[in-house]
Amino acid sequence: MDLLLWYENGLVGTFIRESIWGYPIVLSSHAVGMATVLGIALMLCLRVLGFARGITVTAFDKLFTVGWVGFAINLVSGIILFAGSASLYFFQWTFQLKIGAILVGGILLKVVMNAVRANKSESTQKLLAAACMLCWLVGVITGRLMAYITA
Amino acid sequence: MNLESLALWLGQGFLHDQMVDKFWMFPMMETFHFIGLSFMFGALLVIDGRVLGIGKFISMKEAMKFIPVAIVAFAVNLISGYAFLSSDPATYLYNIGFQWKIGLIVIAGFNALWFWFGEHKQLTQLADGQEAPFTAKIIALGSIVLWVLVIILGRMIPYTDF
């Protein structure tokens, strides 16, 4: 708690609360990063689920770089936004679930790619891809609900 | 029709009533809007990314299958976007961020038509790994830039209410 308050009352927290354009700009970056990282993750999952089979899953690799750029944008903008009310966000179940879903979704993305490269059975690949997609969607839903459910 | 009467016309009907009466309608529509934008932007990243040469071993013909994904996602966002608009039309219509957002969506629409009628056919004949023509690359870059701006402006709407 001390750490949360220290961060919230520090330079970043003060900036994001007091600067007029600081918050909207960082918030917009968070939306662009989200569209990028989520977009790539969702399209890869769609492909593994059997959509656009003519694309080799490994040809998707290059797009991962783009996805990582989106992730980096959101990690930085997310850490800045978090400073806005760290002591509140940290205890919101929507926030906790969001972070958990993103972590699991990210790991699953790697697991999906490994399963594809290792030529695991199609049903295994599809099951993993569906779980991965679900995690990322839970990440967006809970992220949006953070603004409404403050418990 | 001026903005005032347009606002009056939009601020009525079933969807407007639901958006105003049910506290969960707005957050639900927002969630749909965000999921829709992620699907749409993701589909565009595959198509435009391939055209621009990022992941050029993605089969161009197969990448085009993501066009319907983008269209369905856009439809979801058109409906959810209309729901926000109908909930409080005047606030949106007079908002500079919203006005620019709609303007850019229209431009992005023309850009997409140019892609479809000018480049689509030629592009589907591209071999895997083959570079797309320069014009197609310009359109693809334009598409990414325009939609990024649309996302930014959309997020800015609450702060551009002067």
| Contact residues on chain A for B35, CB-CB shorter than 8 A | 137, 140-141
As to burial, measured by CB atoms within 10 angstroms (0-12 exposed, 13-18 middle, 19+ buried), residue B121 is: exposed
Question: CB-CB: which of B31, B43, B56 is closest to A43?
Answer: B43
Given this model, what pLDDT does residue A122 score?
A: 93
Cα(A4)–Cα(A148) distance, integer angstroms: 21
- Residue-wise pLDDT tens digits, B100-135: 999 999 999 999 999 999 999 999 999 999 999 999
Out of A23, A24, A54, name the one closest to residue B61 (CB).
Answer: A54
Give the model's pLDDT for residue A45: 96
pLDDT for position B102: 98
* Cα distances (angstroms) measured from residue B92 to each of A24, A120, A147, B31: 17, 50, 20, 19
Mean pLDDT, rounded, of chain B? 95
Task: Domain count for chain B, please give it.
Answer: 1
Contact B92, B157 (CB under 8 A): yes
Please report, rounded to a whole number, the percentage of residues in chain A having pLDDT higher than 90: 89
Q: Which of A85, A94, A40 is nearest to A65 (CA)?
A: A40
Domain that holds residue B134: 3-159
| Cβ within 8 Å, pair B54-A59 | no
Instruction: Tell me the per-residue pLDDT of B12-35, one tens digit each, with 9 for 90 and over.
Output: 999 999 999 999 999 999 999 999
**Percentage of chain A surpassing pLDDT 70?**
100
Task: Report pLDDT digits (tens) over B37-88.
Answer: 999 999 999 999 999 999 889 999 999 999 999 999 999 999 999 999 999 9
Contacts of residue B121, defined as CB under 8 A and 6 or more positions apart, other chains included, come to none
Q: What is the pLDDT of residue B45?
A: 97
- Band (pLDDT 50/70/90 cuts) for residue A151 is confident
User: Can you tell me the distance from the alpha carbon of A47 to that of A109, in angstroms, rounded to the nearest whole number?
Assistant: 12
Nearest-Cα residue of chain A relative to residue B158: A24
Could you tell me the pLDDT band of residue B1, with boundaries at 50, 70 and 90? low
Q: Is the dihedral of CA B11, B16, B20, B26 positive or negative?
A: negative
Nearest CA in chain A to B56: A59
- The 10s digit of each residue's pLDDT in A30-79 is 999 999 999 999 999 999 999 999 898 878 888 999 999 999 999 999 99
Q: Is B31 on the interface with A (CB under 8 A)?
A: yes
Residue type, B3: L
Using CA atoms, how far residue A112 sits from A67, A85, A100, B137, in Å, is 15, 35, 18, 31
Q: Which residues of A touch B148 (CB under 8 A)?
A: 32
The alpha carbon of residue B61 is apart from the nearest alpha carbon of chain A, in Å, by 8
CA–CA dist B3, A80 (Å, integer): 38
Q: Using the beta-carbon criterion (under 8 Å), do B45 and A144 form an inter-chain contact?
A: no
Q: Please tell me if residue B53 touches chain A, with a CB cutoff of 8 Å.
A: no
> Tokens representing B37?
């934008």
- Residues of chain B with pLDDT > 90, as a percent, come to 94
Q: Which chain B residue lies closest to A64 (C-alpha atoms)?
A: B55
Interface contact B65, partner A, CB < 8 A: yes
Cα dist from A2 to A91, A95, B156, whole Å: 14, 19, 33
pLDDT of res. A58 = 79
Does the beta-carbon distance from B69 to A53 stay under 8 Å?
A: no
State the average pLDDT over residues A94-121: 96
Shortest Cα distance, chain A CAs vs residue B13, angstroms: 25
Q: Domain-by-domain residue ranges, chain A?
A: 2-145
| One-letter-per-residue 3-state SS of chain A | CHHHHHHHHCHHHHHHHHCCCHHHHHHHHHHHHHHHHHHHHHHHHHHHCCCCCCCCHHHHHHHHHHHHHHHHHHHHHHHHHHHHCHHHHCCCHHHHHHHHHHHHHHHHHHHHHHHHHCCCCHHHHHHHHHHHHHHHHHHHHHHHHCCCCCC
